Amino acid sequence: MENDIQDQRVLDAFLAIPRHIFVPLEAEQRAYNDGPLPIGFSQTISQPYVVALMLESLKLKPHHHILEIGSGSGYVLALLSLLCKKVVGVELEKSLVSRSIETIRNLGLKNITVFHGDGYLGWENRAPYDRILLSAAPAEFPRELLGQLKADGLLIAPIGANEQELHLFWQKKGEWKSKVITEVRFVPLRKEKAIRPD
């Protein structure tokens, strides 16, 4: 990872957060391999290199307020907590929300809030955000999330069904622009119309 990722703050965060405590017991021996791992409920914890690439692409600053959608077991939230001032996670699977809250609490991280909800809706009550990161892939980009982003904000997301690309979005002169960073493979971003932010 060190050869490709240049942001030292991102590299330091990976050294500080123990990945093995965010995966099931049977996956702990593989926790530090550079690959995704199952965390139950047809979800995965993402490949470390891809996560690092996403974090570096967002150009995170210590004062930032950030939203992660599809926060799973909370690993990326923990990394973000060392890089940003306030971190919000949204996860559809209620059991993963409970698990991530407990793990984050055990690590003593105080600047993270995790909500149970539909990631397609974001979390408007805590908006606007400096950055938004999607850790699961919608088939098509949910444009309503852009409304929760500050005018100078960045959003990064894997997009696609069978073939996925990692897109970075930003606003220029009132218009949204995007670029493709690389091909990726994420679990689908599931939708649940019955769940809305409190």
**pLDDT digits over 130-187, tens only?**
999 999 999 888 888 999 999 999 999 999 988 899 999 998 877 889 999 999 999 9
Range of the domain at 104: 8-184
Residue 95 tokens, joined: 């059991």
Q: What is the pLDDT, as a whole number, of residue 197?
A: 47
Instruction: Tell me if 66 is assigned to some domain.
Output: yes
pLDDT at 2 over 80: no
Instruction: Tell me if 3 is assigned to some domain.
Output: no
Instruction: Tell me if 57 is assigned to some domain.
Output: yes
Collapsing DSSP states into helix, strand and coil, what is residue 177?
A: strand
Instruction: Tell me if 175 is assigned to some domain.
Output: yes
Instruction: Tell me if 73 is assigned to some domain.
Output: yes
Instruction: Tell me if 147 is assigned to some domain.
Output: yes
Cα(106)–Cα(72) distance, integer angstroms: 16
Say whether the peptide bond before residue 138 is cis (omega within 30 degrees of 0).
no
Let me know if 3 is exposed, middle or buried by CB neighbors in 10 A (0-12, 13-18, 19+): exposed
**With the C-alpha atoms ordered 121, 141, 157, 132, is the resulting torsion angle positive or negative?**
negative
Q: What is the pLDDT, as a whole number, of residue 172?
A: 84
Instruction: Tell me if 133 is assigned to some domain.
Output: yes
Residues annotated as catalytic are: 46
Over the range 51-71, which residues count as b (16 or more CB within 10 Å of their CB) and which as e? bbbbbbbbebeeebbbbbbbb
pLDDT at 72 over 60: yes
Q: How many domains does the chain have?
A: 1
Q: What is the pLDDT, as a whole number, of residue 178?
A: 92
Collapsing DSSP states into helix, strand and coil, what is residue 116?
A: strand
Query: What CATH code is carried by the domain that includes residue 18?
Result: 3.40.50.150
How much of the chain is in helix, strand and coil states, percent to nearest 5?
30, 30, 40
Instruction: Tell me if 145 is assigned to some domain.
Output: yes
77-132: per-residue pLDDT in tens? 999 999 999 999 999 999 999 999 999 999 999 999 999 999 999 999 999 999 99
